[in-house]
Chain A
Amino acid sequence: MGQDFKIPEPIVAIKALVRDGDGHPKFDDLSKIAEFSHLLTDDDKTYLENKYGKGIFDN
């Protein structure tokens, strides 16, 4: 008699970008900016550079 096997567990992956009441993107971990960068407009990037510094998109 063989051993029991386990069906692999489903994997769920969800991403969401938060914007404040003025429409600006909100990040509480700056390392996450790269993960969402493809969703950011030029205005978003200018806003984030003004807030966190010009090098925020260098990496």
Chain B
Amino acid sequence: MAKEFLITSAARSAACDAIVDLLDVGTGTEAELVIANASSVTDLVTIGLGATAFGAAATGVATVTTTPATGTATTTGTAARFRLVDQSNTTVAQGNVGTTGTNFTMSISNTSIANNDQVQLTAMTVTVPAGTLT
């Protein structure tokens, strides 16, 4: 028999809000999505997420407040990593970027980003799953 554990919808939303609300703190004006190269050493483009990055979660899903949000690339490189940073530029979460397959958290139309390219954030959600109980 598999282990079973089920989180209520209210608890899922509370957990989700606890994560995304960390983006809305700091000394600056807005959280940012930063796209970087494979080593995360070179930031290629930064996209502002607004003063309140995500709306209140519902059934464990929080959705970014403003889409599309656009950033202009400041250098040329291959996108491979992303960071979600708060208003003080402190990293809250990070992940990988790619174009094909299902192994990437961030799906981008082209990983080859040139200086002055425009990168439009078109969708972003954070989901806390329910788990299972049979």
Contacts and interface: CB of A to CB of B under 8 A. Distances in A.
Interface residues of A, number: 29
Interface residues of B, number: 42
B111 interface: yes
A3 B3 contact: yes
Interface in A5-24: 5-21, 23
B31 interface: no
A43 B30 CA distance: 32
Contacts of A8: 5, 7, 128-131
Q: Which secondary structure dominates chain B's binding surface? A: strand
B89 interface: no
Given A19-B117, A21-B116, A28-B112, A13 B5 contact: no
Interface of B: 3-5, 7, 15-16, 19, 33, 35, 47, 68, 82, 93, 95, 99-100, 105-114, 116-131
Interface of A: 3, 5-21, 23, 25-29, 31-32, 35-36, 39
